[in-house]
């Protein structure tokens, strides 16, 4: 009888807890949900940009008498042109990539020349076609998940034809090139960027009409140094 009473009391107690309102909830099994894998920081990418190509030239020459009895003059020329840039590269991680670029122009560059002690004060003319290429190491630093700053350090060639002075090119320079830029990642594939690249620095050129048996006004010879740089605004797509 005593054992039956204890059993009945236990059953009643369990029923009381159940009716009392669910303070004890059944334990549900835990299900682990894997977080999505982050987008890869490495991979191939391609892109393109609008480029503003600028040049600055300092020139020195002689006219009137090649033997030295004539006049000497100095001139400067500044030119700007609309162009385009195409790029392709491989990103190893979020800090380093390698990249190749090619620049072209939509028209011949127009220079405005200013003379010091020359035959005229100033004049303008359309000179030659423009093209450039470069291969760069591209160090990068992520400021935020979307925003990065980067540099460009590499080697390339810049060519600008000369339709004014003889058959010589105004620029045909191979050497060191560098740049700085800013990139914003819209998503894991598409990024927008703006950067500056110096394509040539004091590239030297010259032309001698007398030595080539030619005449151009009363000029005898000219030599010059030209610097070329670009501002690029574009978009890249990473595969």
Asked if the model's pLDDT at residue 82 lies above 60, the reply is yes
In the predicted model, what is the mean pLDDT of residues 156-162?
87
pLDDT: is 107 or 147 the higher one? 147
Confidence band of 75 (pLDDT split at 50, 70, 90): confident
What is the pLDDT, as a whole number, of residue 119? 45
Backbone angles phi, psi at 7, to 5 degrees: -65, -40
CATH number at residue 189: 2.40.160.20
Residue 9 domain-assigned (yes or no): no
What is the pLDDT, as a whole number, of residue 160? 84
In the predicted model, what is the mean pLDDT of residues 108-118?
60
Asked if the model's pLDDT at residue 22 lies above 80, the reply is no
Range of the domain at 105: 43-238
pLDDT tens for 28-45 read 666 565 544 444 688 999
Pairwise CA distance, residues 163 & 218, whole Å: 17
Pairwise CA distance, residues 116 & 73, whole Å: 6
What is the pLDDT, as a whole number, of residue 17? 43
Token pair recorded at residue 215: 């005449």
Residue 118 domain-assigned (yes or no): yes
pLDDT tens for 207-238 read 776 666 666 656 677 788 889 999 999 999 99
Pairwise CA distance, residues 211 & 222, whole Å: 12
Residue 34 domain-assigned (yes or no): no
Confidence (pTM):
0.72
Percent of the chain with pLDDT over 90: 43
Cβ neighbours, 10 Å, residue 109: 25
Over its C-alpha atoms, the chain yields an Rg (Å, rounded) of 35
Confidence band of 114 (pLDDT split at 50, 70, 90): low
Domain count of the chain? 1
Residue 54 domain-assigned (yes or no): yes
What is the pLDDT, as a whole number, of residue 209? 66
Pairwise CA distance, residues 97 & 90, whole Å: 6
In the predicted model, what is the mean pLDDT of residues 65-75?
60
Residue 163 domain-assigned (yes or no): yes
What is the pLDDT, as a whole number, of residue 38? 44
Distance in Å from the first CA to the final CA of the chain: 81
Token pair recorded at residue 66: 């090649």
Residue 18 domain-assigned (yes or no): no
Residue 38 domain-assigned (yes or no): no
Residue 12 domain-assigned (yes or no): no
């Amino acid at each position: 009888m005593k054992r039956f009473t204890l059993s009945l009391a236990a059953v009643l107690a369990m029923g009381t807890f159940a009716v009392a309102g669910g303070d004890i909830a059944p334990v549900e099994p835990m299900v682990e949900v894997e977080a999505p894998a982050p987008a890869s920081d490495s991979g191939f990418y391609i892109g393109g940009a609008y480029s503003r190509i600028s040049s600055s030239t300092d020139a020195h020459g002689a006219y009137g008498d090649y033997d030295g009895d004539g006049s000497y003059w100095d001139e400067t020329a500044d030119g700007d042109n609309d162009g385009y840039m195409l790029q392709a590269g491989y990103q190893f991680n979020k800090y380093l990539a390698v990249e190749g670029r090619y620049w072209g122009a939509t028209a011949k560059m127009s220079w405005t020349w200013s003379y010091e002690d020359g035959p005229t004060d100033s004049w303008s003319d359309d000179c030659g076609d423009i093209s450039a290429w470069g291969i760069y190491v591209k160090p990068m630093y992520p400021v935020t998940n979307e925003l990065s700053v980067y540099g460009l350090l590499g080697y390339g060639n810049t060519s600008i034809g000369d339709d004014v002075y003889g058959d010589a090119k105004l620029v045909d320079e191979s050497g060191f090139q560098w740049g700085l830029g800013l990139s914003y990642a819209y998503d894991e594939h598409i990024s927008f960027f703006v950067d500056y690249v110096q394509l040539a620095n004091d590239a030297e050129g010259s032309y001698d009409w007398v030595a080539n048996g030619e005449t151009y006004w009363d000029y005898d010879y000219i030599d010059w140094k030209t610097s070329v740089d670009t501002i690029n605004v574009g978009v890249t797509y990473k595969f």
